[in-house]
Structure 1
């Protein structure tokens, strides 16, 4: 079993003859596998570093989603969909490249580069004076977040075999629990006090701490080969096709019913071209590009396919719930940003708790199919219950109804990864996990944009004309209205609250259908034996790199 990226597989004995060989010997010793239960200091420091990176993304996701209505109001903006959509689209766009980047240039500096990118985006958002600047900052943050999370998934696979991953993912879920618990109240409190910019500034010391820890404890391992050759080996055609297609579809969905009617060429043409582009992408990956971005086993193994499909549907429904439940609470229940965060505790606590349960149960029973079935059934029930919420619903309903949904979403947060990896050789982990994170983020982009399009179109139809006549035409005004609802006079106030409730009800009904589709993906799933080893191919590469590092120690006196 592997301890860390530094302790992957046993290496051949090293003859110690001079200072260079001594350095090589130290490298070899650091990389030796230790028995189960004997993981050392380096392993835990690297593991803690990856958890810190995940904490960055989790806090940003949970805190910003709660504070977004206030942020949009303070910046006098209206494009609330793109404030969230730009983040997830950017985080998705970079993901197909991550597998090639970490395999060609090593895990360490690629991860540090993405953490730096996240910090730069946080600075842009914190200093934003307009919605355009905020959206640019969120896009830069998305690049950093998506790349960082994909890198940590790959590093974690280097460290721990699949059957043992449950308890460690349980620790990771506890980190998400902390973020989900403190993120919404922090976001609400800072937004309510007018200090929303600190939502982004607080990322900076965490980014610095993560980068320092990674520099200190994670050794860089770079395979042989020239930089130009590695760059040329990236799947640029495939990435261009999928990124362009995704943006086209999102543009059409965002404009539909707002700036243009759903039958207008400005809406239909981008959606149709984007849909065709997505189909062309998968065909090209299978026939022409031979799985450089989309792993070839996606087309040949039904269990892996079921895992990826489940990951897609889970990504859509999970982020839709996280983004639009605060909209219901703030618009239909008159909750402040702070109280909406507190009112989401039913979801915030149940997700990580049942993610921990899933990881432990998979390790104990060595099965993953039942957990996926249970997760989808709970998710389906949760959205059915949410679709019953109205402006008159009490706390027992709008908090209690979150729990079944949180149970299902939490189970699937980890559960869909096991059918992806179980049938595959461990040498495919890096690309399989990079594509796994890509699918998840790609789906989350759909969740934000589709949910926003549904809400906006319902509001356009249901809001009283006395109010819509005063609103800018062809603009996204949902988040612009929320902070002003409590100051409205009756009957307009009740009419607006009902309109928002009807909008979120329709979102939940659409999610019911997608959850049912997710449940059907389990029918493709087989129970495969999970591999007990780590990636030996990568370990051989690290052995070569260890020799090079030792030579650098001898020549430059730098470890």
Structure 2
């Protein structure tokens, strides 16, 4: 469908004359019979990288605003393989480290700092989310992905070589900076390759890759810890990178931004990135330190929380008033679906990562399982995620609806978290399997649905931004969830160990090294294990309201049509939609994808912001 202004399915947006890019494959390879495909045949030289006319040049923002048609399978399969390998590598790192943490804490005599490992990772994971999204627009998806992978691999190598807990924390922070880019760019690249209607199916596959890595990770990590060394949990990433990087380099074909390098660098919102980074630090760090290494009313904790306020205000001011190309355009905060979905992501991160982080500790300390066995015990959770994410992803693509599955997934997740209290009261393997399977079937539905929903709620030019925010808010939630539950766990554990009728030296052993509990003689060991079990129950209880809030937020979601097929043209029109299409300011597919009642309002918000 060719607009009156001559652009094939483009949408007016802010442009930078110094940036030109060959049009995306997806927008020019659609069959002519499609109501949203370009109707004219191009007879000109073909760009060897993108496979589209080299003579037709458009700005980067124009290309990113184009309608995307799913590529033919012969082109999509190899590109998707490269993205899946990158996601597998980053996701494996997440799952493998949870199994190794008890051993790492014991070796460095710092079991009371294991929650800090995750917090350091999350802070840097979040700090550069907005930057990765903008850099992928300016420098291209592939170069930015390679930079993220390089940072990730260097961080992993140094993590495995760490000689102290403080060094390990710093290296995990470096790893998080790279991992954040891999996660965000994987979602962005899939959106470049696949139409909004088919995206649920392919996001389901990616969620399946995540589940497989989470299934393999604890088992592999347990084997390394028990048989070789925990350091190999991180060095294994080098081997995976050797496979992933060449695969991406050869098989992933995407548009290549052109233009002056200095102009590109100047166009990045560096000040906004700085405020986003320090906001993550000021929010997550005191949440982890409070009640653990410092008292909640200590000056360090209070000052960090106080500093979070001006950093948030500074970020909002820069994005609204100063940034030429803001990493988070202010008009997005007026989009009801975007705000709701980001809020759901916060509580999903709290819920999911609490399970991933604390269940292996529970099975090793309370159930006396080895690290390998603890990894195997997590299989039902990951199996549930794998099944639910793939089935729901296919259903979203088939019927073009995501809201029912978000509602159902959050409801089942609440039930699963409540059942974790039953898990903590029994050693029955059958009950363990049932509880973890229910949790996985609930949470698994959310992985493909939430990313598709938030991408469908904005126009193409904001796709990279909301994809980055999607990961930012989820990992922020995970950081808060682990930190809050870690503070509750450690406070309850320490205070009750002090009160318990056991010698002081045994109480100190239990505080500093969870795995050293086996060296405490009876009957004191039973007392210590009872206190650990009560501390774990407290964690599960605290997670229930987090999951419940996630469920309640689903009632605020508005449905956005995902139809981009022929039957989509039969949808009733509205004056706002007709006007936008007539002016060439919105393609038919984008008009269908946006909520009917919000088209004109969203347009006005964007005009005011610009």
Give the structure-2-normalised TM-score.
Answer: 0.79
Pairing 1:49–2:82 present = yes
Secondary structure of the structure 2 residue equivalent to 1:9: helix
Distance 1:454 1:25 in 2: 53
- Kindly tell me the number of residue pairs found equivalent between the two proteins: 527
Pairing 1:120–2:138 present = no
Residue 348 of structure 1: aligned partner:
382
Residue 517 of structure 2: aligned partner:
485
> Alpha-carbon deviation of 1:291?
8.3
Secondary structure of the structure 1 residue equivalent to 2:25: coil
Residue 7 of structure 1: aligned partner:
25
Secondary structure of the structure 1 residue equivalent to 2:505: coil
**Among candidates 485, 491, 499, match of residue 451 of structure 1:** 485
> Alpha-carbon deviation of 1:231?
2.3
Distance 1:468 1:415 in 2: 52
> Alpha-carbon deviation of 1:290?
8.5
Distance 2:425 2:477 in 1: 29
Note if contact 2:42-2:53 (Cα within 8 Å) is conserved in structure 1: no
> Alpha-carbon deviation of 1:301?
1.8
Describe the superposition over 1:188-224 as per-residue Cα deviations: whole angstroms up to 9, x where unpaired: 1111124221111111121121111121123463434
Flag the 1:120–1:37 CA change in 2: closer, same or farther, 3 A: closer
> Alpha-carbon deviation of 1:417?
2.0
Pairing 1:421–2:439 present = no
Residue 37 of structure 2: aligned partner:
none
Pairing 1:327–2:327 present = no
- Aligned pairs for 1:273-422 (under 5 A) are 273-275=307-309, 277-278=311-312, 281-282=315-316, 285-286=319-320, 289=323, 292-390=326-424, 392-422=426-456
Secondary structure of the structure 2 residue equivalent to 1:416: helix
Flag the 1:310–1:37 CA change in 2: closer, same or farther, 3 A: closer
Residue 72 of structure 1: aligned partner:
105
**Among candidates 538, 556, 560, match of residue 524 of structure 1:** 556
Note if contact 2:402-2:453 (Cα within 8 Å) is conserved in structure 1: yes
Distance 2:115 2:381 in 1: 22
Note if contact 1:252-1:270 (Cα within 8 Å) is conserved in structure 2: yes
Residue 287 of structure 2: aligned partner:
253
Note if contact 1:63-1:187 (Cα within 8 Å) is conserved in structure 2: yes
Note if contact 1:295-1:432 (Cα within 8 Å) is conserved in structure 2: no
Distance 1:362 1:477 in 2: 48
Note if contact 2:267-2:324 (Cα within 8 Å) is conserved in structure 1: no
Higher relative contact order (CA 8 A, sep 6+): 1
359-368 or 381-390, which deviates more? 381-390
Distance 2:346 2:425 in 1: 31
Secondary structure of the structure 1 residue equivalent to 2:245: helix
Distance 1:202 1:467 in 2: 42
> Alpha-carbon deviation of 1:337?
0.9
Secondary structure of the structure 2 residue equivalent to 1:202: helix
Distance 1:25 1:406 in 2: 40
> Alpha-carbon deviation of 1:443?
1.9
Flag the 1:530–1:44 CA change in 2: closer, same or farther, 3 A: same
Describe the superposition over 1:244-274 as per-residue Cα deviations: whole angstroms up to 9, x where unpaired: 2321233322332233322222222222332
Secondary structure of the structure 2 residue equivalent to 1:27: coil
Describe the superposition over 1:478-518 as per-residue Cα deviations: whole angstroms up to 9, x where unpaired: 5x422112232223212222222222222222221111111
Distance 1:232 1:206 in 2: 34
**Among candidates 18, 27, 37, match of residue 51 of structure 2:** 27
Flag the 1:492–1:159 CA change in 2: closer, same or farther, 3 A: same
Secondary structure of the structure 2 residue equivalent to 1:348: helix
Structure 1: segments with no counterpart, 5+ residues:
538-559
> Alpha-carbon deviation of 1:104?
0.5
Describe the superposition over 1:338-383 as per-residue Cα deviations: whole angstroms up to 9, x where unpaired: 1111111221211121111221121122211111111111111111
Residue 211 of structure 1: aligned partner:
245
284-293 or 363-372, which deviates more? 284-293
Secondary structure of the structure 2 residue equivalent to 1:188: helix
Distance 1:401 1:344 in 2: 11
> Alpha-carbon deviation of 1:280?
5.2
Pairing 1:159–2:193 present = yes
Note if contact 1:423-1:529 (Cα within 8 Å) is conserved in structure 2: no
C-alpha RMSD of matched pairs (Å): 3.2
Flag the 1:86–1:264 CA change in 2: closer, same or farther, 3 A: closer
Pairing 1:504–2:536 present = yes
Structure 2: segments with no counterpart, 5+ residues:
2-21, 30-39, 57-65, 566-583, 586-610
> Alpha-carbon deviation of 1:275?
4.9
